[in-house]
Each structure stands twice: as C-alpha cells, then as structure tokens.
Amino acid sequence: MTSHSTLTGAAGEYYVLCQLLRHGWIAALAPKGVPNADIIVTDVEGNRQCAIQVKTRRDIGSDKGWHMSKKHEAIISPSLFYCFVDLGKNESDPPVTFIIPSSIVASTLKDSHQLWLDTPGKDGSRHNDTDMRRLLPDYARRRQLQPTFAQKFGPGWMEQYREKWSILHSQ
C-alpha cells in the first residue's frame, strides 16, 4: 500500500515539473536513486542546466516547516535549488512554492540547528543532537533564539522566494 506521504511527495514533484514546463524550461524527473536531485532542468538552448530537489508538505502541524536531514547542511552547489511546496490544507487550496538556492538552505539549516542545540529545553536540559532538521518559514517562533537570527529568519523570510521561478535564470 502506498503511504500518504509518498503520494504527497509525488504530487509536489509533478507540480514543480508542471511549473517548470509552464515557465519555458525543459525538465524531467531524475532517475530513482539519484541522491540530490528529483528534477533535472535545462533551458531550451542547453546553456543553463540545474537540478532541483523537491520538498513537499501539507498544511498540518504547528510549525509549518519541511522535514530535512543533517545531510542537507552540506549539499551546496550553484546549480542546485530546492523547491519547497506547500499543498495547503485540502485539495482546493492552490499550491505555493518557494524556490531557494542550496547554499541558503544549507546555511539556514546548519545555523538554526546549532542555535537549537545551544538553547536549553523547556526544563533547562540540553537538546540531544539528531539527524533531523526543519526548514521553517518563521524561526522567530522558537524560544530564546538569538535576536539577529530571529530577525533575519523571522516571519516572512521565505517570501522573497515565493514563486520565484526566475531565480533559475539568474544563478
């Protein structure tokens, strides 16, 4: 039986594929097992190639974030982008996509995780390190976060990447 999360992931990949084609890119799903890319992209002339990793969520849970792992802190390439797709609460909600360069994702995950480790838990104890990471649209919601980080990655920090398909041309 196919899990709901598998279907959600596939929906996100096909949605991003559709948007890329609509924006004039030649795009195809990467073969299964490719470690860092879900979609391979080129311009019509073949002058610009890039890879995209898609992360998809439904609007459930309290932090509105996407699941990531420790490995994403080290995956950095000028030709790799992440598409963070939010499918909304139900099927009638329009999907929203944030297209973010891998260097921004990697540094945000690394810095936010280190800050989480450095911040005591509710009972004052240290957080245990794990391989799990979260890319959040609002890190200011985390308790006792450094003010400079909370300002930079607070509410709306991802808005500059909302539906920014043109970023694929400029990198």
pLDDT tens digits for range 12-50: 999 999 999 999 999 999 998 999 999 999 999 999 999
pLDDT category of residue 147 using cuts at 50, 70 and 90: low
- The domain that holds 111 is classified in CATH as 3.40.1350.10
Q: Which of 88-92, 128-132, 144-148, 162-166 has the lowest mean pLDDT?
A: 144-148
Q: pLDDT tens-digit profile of 50-67?
A: 999 999 998 877 778 899
Task: Provide the domain count of the chain.
Answer: 1
- pTM of the shown model: 0.91
Q: Please count the other Cβ atoms lying within 10 Å of the Cβ belonging to residue 76.
A: 14
pLDDT of 117 > 60? The answer is yes
| 167 contacts 161 by C-beta, under 8 angstroms | yes
Residues 6+ apart with CB under 8 A from 103: 76, 78
State the DSSP string of 74-128.
Answer: T---TTEEEEEEE--SSTTSPPEEEEEEHHHHHHHHHHHHHHHHHS--TTSPPPP
Domain extent, residue 60, equals 4-170
Average pLDDT, the chain: 89
Q: Which of 5-14, 27-36, 138-147 has the lowest mean pLDDT?
A: 138-147
- Inter-CA distances, 135 with 5, 33, 44, 71, 113, Å: 17, 23, 32, 13, 10
As a whole number of angstroms, the distance between CA 6 and CA 21 comes to: 23
